[in-house]
């Protein structure tokens, strides 16, 4: 009997067993209506998402344009301040001006400075005496410059600061009958004596014109208390442009943040950025940069267009889907009948369809399933037995691996965890709560290189931090050897904490070396630098060059500094010549840093047992630290004495430097730790080095049997003290005898 005949015999019974229920609804309605709703909802969300993306893009574009405008305003403000400073310097250093001030020759003084004021286009120029008394005042008008009187220079704090010699240039805001004026003061000297002051002024409207850049950008200037000084808006009131105290403080005191606000003004909607108004490195207020906001019209038009388009698409898709489903359901009825027969236990039911389309492919696939199901059932038991043997073999292999191994089934359950894995993780519970449990969920299923028969890598190795350790984890797929099917996952673990730490230390050292190479070369000498500035630059270059040479030697010699190697090269060393040689070696470095290096020998004739080269290296690091962290004009003192029982040579290196903070003291002997030193004014210091000075010194001193200690007080200096055991002034060379005896003992041991 053929399969068709068998199927024909059972079809009536099968169909009768599956009668349609009363609440049966055609698939075309069940799918078409939800599809319509889904497409409409998708259209609404797509409209919102696309229009929102367009709006965000436009907003970001406007934010970028606003930030570019703000940066341009800052650059123009700097250029404007430099221009005012140059022109005011020209006035202060004009020949004859100091003499005219001293003789109160106002006509001559006006004849000298008025052409300079015209050339610089100052709105105001005031020349005063050293006691802040006005001599002459010039004010620019429409017809030229006219003389003014009554300027209260003593009421301007920046004028008194300049006359006091505290600053060479100082700027501030002053109020006049023509509005607020940006004023800059500079001293007028005869020789080294301040004989007067020159004060230039520019109306804020002219300052804004120089900083504005384009007509669509508007500016507003605010005082340090938030009062509006001037704005380029023609029709805006002061109340509409007021700035909150929070925004004002954020703009003035937060260096890495620019407050951005969206404002609705009478003239339209604007985005505003608030930045400090800085002249001569002094913030004297806040500058607000306004750019028009054109997002509203663009977002509304894009939303309407997208809504119409997506609604039309939704209707077309729904109608087309309804028609196609009607045609397809007729063929699905045949597939449905065969599926019912198979569900009833008739393994011979077939659709006999050709795979010409998706429905035909479904019927053909159903036929393939029916033909193969019996074969699969017969071979199922044999396959299970083979898999058990393979699992047992694989478990034995994994148990013998020295690295940590975790084996999971396809559902993620742990079925094996070898002793090294338990040692690294503690328990299976710790594994479930660790990031390792998520590793197999994120790795790719693409098989990589073979690790062992039936085990292939999944993705790249991962570094997973856990309980203060760094673990190297590699996930791999476990495949059936016979059928190459995936039957589980294995994770191989290795503790690489020390490797990561050494890698980080090497990277930190290389970064310090790169910074120290760049730091002296990145300093640029400005045009017209004084001789003192040039000498300072040369000292810095020399200092960095010496530091780099020393760091290269440290990297080469640090690996050889242990107690055994140091003892092999020890001899009796006179301490006094050692310190004199160190003083001569570091004297040029101290002089280049404008420091005085002193040597005090309180006890002569002392000898220590040591390696001279390594001692000079370790003590040199201590002297270098003292020089690096001592400001110019300070002192570094090397002192030698003996302790009370004449058993140790006591050394002291004392400086008048910036000291070490209490936060840094516990870490000063940690390798590559550099701390955060600051000068007396609280400014951070930038010095070359890799953070190994005290670490190397401690290692060298302890390798010679000595001890080292540090005491320090911030801003008052640091004292490093260390002791080395004393010895006789003659060293007996027993190295050859010792080596011979050790060789004989080693040979006897081999023979035994």
SS3 track for 134-191? EEEEEEEECCEEEECCCCCHHHCHHHHHHHCCCCCCEEEEEEECCEEEEEEEEEEEEC
Residue 19 has what DSSP assignment?
Answer: P
For residues 207 and 268, the model is more confident at: 207
Rounded alpha-carbon distances, angstroms, from residue 104 to 92, 93, 97, 132, 135: 16, 17, 10, 13, 7
Q: Please, which contacts does 157-162 make with residues 24 or more away whose CB atoms are closer than 8 Å?
A: 158/183, 158/185, 159/128, 159/132, 159/185, 159/197, 159/199, 160/132, 161/185, 162/186, 162/187, 162/197
417 — phi, psi (to 5°)?
A: -140, 110
Mean pLDDT of 479-498: 76
Q: Cα separation of 221 and 279, whole Å?
A: 13
- What is the pLDDT, as a whole number, of residue 300? 57
Mean pLDDT of 264-269: 77
Mean pLDDT in the chain? 76
Task: Determine which of 42-46, 135-139, 224-228, 555-559 has the lowest per-residue pLDDT on average.
Answer: 555-559
Task: Determine which of 310-314, 359-363, 593-597, 715-719 has the lowest per-residue pLDDT on average.
Answer: 310-314
Mean pLDDT of 498-522: 65
Task: Determine which of 63-67, 546-550, 621-625, 628-632 has the lowest per-residue pLDDT on average.
Answer: 546-550
Mean pLDDT of 709-723: 89
Does the pLDDT value for residue 721 go beyond 90? yes
Does the pLDDT value for residue 675 go beyond 80? no
pTM summary value: 0.38
Does the pLDDT value for residue 617 go beyond 80? yes
Dihedral angle sign, alpha carbons of residues 558, 564, 570, 575: positive
- What is the pLDDT, as a whole number, of residue 8? 43
Range from 103-107, 245-249, 728-732 that averages highest in pLDDT: 103-107
Residue range 385-422, pLDDT digits in tens? 887 887 777 667 666 777 778 777 777 777 777 777 77
Q: Cα separation of 104 and 127, whole Å?
A: 11
Residue range 645-669, pLDDT digits in tens? 888 999 999 999 888 888 888 888 8
- What is the pLDDT, as a whole number, of residue 719? 92
Beta pairing partners, 634: none
Does the pLDDT value for residue 224 go beyond 90? no
- What is the pLDDT, as a whole number, of residue 515? 64
Does the pLDDT value for residue 441 go beyond 60? no
Does the pLDDT value for residue 340 go beyond 60? yes
Whether residue 452 contacts residue 446, with contact meaning beta carbons closer than 8 Å, is answered with no
- What is the pLDDT, as a whole number, of residue 394? 62
- What is the pLDDT, as a whole number, of residue 742? 43
Mean pLDDT of 596-611: 89
* Cβ neighbours around 569 below 10 Å, total: 13
* Cβ neighbours around 275 below 10 Å, total: 20
For residues 186 and 480, the model is more confident at: 186
Does the pLDDT value for residue 50 go beyond 80? no
- What is the pLDDT, as a whole number, of residue 598? 92
- What is the pLDDT, as a whole number, of residue 639? 92
Dihedral angle sign, alpha carbons of residues 28, 30, 33, 35: negative
Burial (CB count <10 Å: 0-12, 13-18, 19+), residue 97: buried
- What is the pLDDT, as a whole number, of residue 545? 65
- What is the pLDDT, as a whole number, of residue 724? 92
Range from 12-21, 44-53, 443-452, 661-670 that averages highest in pLDDT: 661-670
Q: Cα separation of 117 and 184, whole Å?
A: 13
Q: Chain centroid to CA 708: how far? A: 36
Q: Cα separation of 563 and 635, whole Å?
A: 33
Q: How confident is the model at residue 1 (pLDDT cuts 50, 70, 90)?
A: very low
- What is the pLDDT, as a whole number, of residue 638? 93
Whether residue 621 contacts residue 694, with contact meaning beta carbons closer than 8 Å, is answered with yes
Q: How many residues does the chain have?
A: 752
Does the pLDDT value for residue 233 go beyond 70? yes
Beta pairing partners, 193: 190
- What is the pLDDT, as a whole number, of residue 750? 39
Q: Can you state the percent helix, strand and coil of the chain, rounding each to 5?
A: 50, 25, 25
Task: Determine which of 287-291, 468-472, 511-515, 595-599 has the lowest per-residue pLDDT on average.
Answer: 511-515
Residue range 160-202, pLDDT digits in tens? 888 887 777 888 888 888 888 888 888 988 888 888 888 988 8
For residues 16 and 501, the model is more confident at: 501
Q: Residue 405: which region, alpha, beta or left (left: phi > 0; alpha: psi -120 to 50)?
A: beta
Task: Determine which of 207-216, 295-304, 315-324 has the lowest per-residue pLDDT on average.
Answer: 295-304
Q: Cα separation of 423 and 237, whole Å?
A: 73
Q: How confident is the model at residue 497 (pLDDT cuts 50, 70, 90)?
A: confident
476 — phi, psi (to 5°)?
A: -140, 150
Task: Determine which of 132-146, 181-195, 280-294, 395-409 has the lowest per-residue pLDDT on average.
Answer: 395-409
Residue 560 has what DSSP assignment?
Answer: G
- What is the pLDDT, as a whole number, of residue 738? 42
- What is the pLDDT, as a whole number, of residue 720? 92
Those residues with Cβ within 8 angstroms of residue 433's Cβ, 6 or more apart along the chain or in another chain: none
Q: Cα separation of 308 and 297, whole Å?
A: 17
The fraction of the chain above a pLDDT of 70, given in percent, is 72
Does the pLDDT value for residue 462 go beyond 80? no
- What dihedral angle (degrees, nearest 10) is formed by the CA atoms of 611, 612, 614, 617? 170
- What is the pLDDT, as a whole number, of residue 735? 44
Range from 163-177, 501-515, 538-552 that averages highest in pLDDT: 163-177
Q: How confident is the model at residue 433 (pLDDT cuts 50, 70, 90)?
A: low
């Amino acid at each position: 009997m053929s399969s068709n005949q068998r199927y024909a015999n059972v079809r009536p019974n099968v169909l009768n067993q599956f009668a349609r229920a009363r609440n049966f609804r055609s698939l075309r309605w069940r799918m078409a209506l939800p599809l319509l709703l889904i497409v409409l909802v998708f259209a609404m969300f797509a409209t919102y998402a696309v229009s929102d993306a367009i709006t965000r893009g436009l907003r970001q574009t406007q934010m970028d344009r606003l930030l570019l405008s703000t940066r341009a305003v800052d650059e123009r403000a700097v250029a404007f301040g430099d221009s005012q400073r140059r022109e005011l310097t020209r006035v202060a250093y004009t020949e004859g001006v100091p003499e005219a001030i001293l003789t109160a020759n106002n006509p001559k003084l006006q004849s000298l400075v008025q052409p300079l004021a015209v050339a610089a286009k100052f709105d105001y120029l005031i020349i005063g005496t050293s006691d802040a008394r006005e001599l002459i005042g010039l004010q620019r008008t429409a017809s030229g410059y006219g003389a003014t009187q009554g300027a209260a220079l003593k009421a301007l704090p920046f004028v008194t600061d300049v006359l006091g010699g505290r600053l060479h240039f100082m700027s501030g805001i002053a109020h006049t009958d023509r509005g607020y004026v940006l004023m800059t003061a500079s001293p007028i000297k005869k020789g080294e004596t301040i004989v007067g002051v020159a004060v230039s002024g520019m109306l804020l409207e002219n300052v804004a014109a120089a900083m504005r850049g384009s007509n669509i950008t508007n500016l507003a200037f605010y005082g340090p208390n938030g009062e509006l000084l001037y704005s380029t808006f023609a029709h805006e009131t002061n109340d509409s442009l007021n700035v909150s105290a929070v925004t004002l403080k954020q703009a003035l005191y937060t260096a890495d943040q620019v407050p951005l606000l969206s404002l609705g003004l009478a003239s339209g909607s604007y985005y505003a950025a608030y930045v400090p108004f800085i002249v001569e490195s002094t913030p004297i207020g806040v500058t607000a940069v306004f750019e028009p906001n054109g997002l509203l019209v663009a977002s509304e038009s894009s939303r309407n267009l997208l809504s119409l388009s997506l609604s039309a698409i939704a209707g077309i898709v729904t109608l087309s889907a309804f028609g196609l489903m009607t045609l397809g359901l007729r063929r699905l009825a045949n597939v449905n009948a065969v599926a019912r027969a198979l569900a009833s236990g008739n393994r011979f039911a077939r659709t006999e369809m050709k795979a010409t389309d998706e429905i035909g492919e479904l019927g053909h696939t159903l036929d393939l399933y029916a033909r193969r199901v019996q074969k699969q059932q017969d071979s199922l038991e044999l396959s299970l037995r083979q898999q058990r043997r393979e699992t047992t073999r694989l478990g034995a292999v994994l148990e013998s691996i020295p690295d940590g191994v975790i084996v999971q089934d396809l559902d993620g359950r742990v079925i094996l965890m070898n002793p090294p894995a338990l040692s690294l993780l503690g328990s299976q519970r710790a594994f479930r709560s660790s990031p390792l449990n998520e590793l197999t969920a994120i790795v790719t299923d693409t098989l990589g290189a073979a690790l062992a028969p039936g085990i292939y890598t999944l993705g790249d190795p991962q570094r997973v931090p856990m309980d203060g350790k760094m673990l190297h984890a590699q996930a791999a797929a476990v495949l059936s050897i016979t059928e190459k099917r995936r039957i589980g996952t294995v994770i191989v673990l290795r503790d690489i904490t020390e490797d990561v730490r050494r890698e980080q230390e090497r990277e930190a050292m290389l970064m310090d070396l790169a910074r120290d190479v760049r730091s002296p070369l990145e300093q640029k000498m400005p045009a017209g630098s004084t001789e003192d500035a040039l000498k300072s630059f040369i000292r810095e270059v020399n200092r960095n060059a010496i530091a780099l040479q020393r760091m290269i030697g440290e990297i080469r010699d640090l690996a050889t500094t242990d107690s055994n190697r140091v003892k092999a090269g020890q001899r009796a060393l006179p301490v006094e010549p050692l310190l004199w040689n160190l003083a001569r070696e570091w004297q040029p470095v101290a002089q280049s840093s404008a420091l005085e290096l002193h040597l005090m020998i309180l006890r002569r004739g002392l000898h220590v047992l040591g390696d001279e080269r390594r001692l000079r290296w370790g003590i040199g690091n201590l002297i270098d630290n003292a020089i690096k962290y001592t400001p110019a004009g300070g002192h570094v003192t090397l002192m030698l004495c003996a302790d009370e029982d004449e058993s140790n040579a006591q050394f002291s290196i004392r400086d008048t430097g910036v000291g070490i903070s209490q936060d840094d003291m516990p870490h000063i002997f940690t390798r590559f730790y550099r701390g955060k030193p600051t000068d007396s004014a609280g400014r951070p210091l930038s010095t070359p080095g890799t953070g190994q000075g005290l670490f190397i010194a401690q290692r060298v001193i302890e390798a010679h049997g000595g001890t080292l200690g540090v005491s320090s007080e911030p801003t008052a200096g640091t004292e490093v003290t260390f002791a080395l055991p004393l010895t006789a002034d003659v060293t007996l060379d027993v190295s050859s005898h010792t080596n011979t005896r050790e060789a004989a003992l080693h040979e006897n041991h081999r023979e035994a």
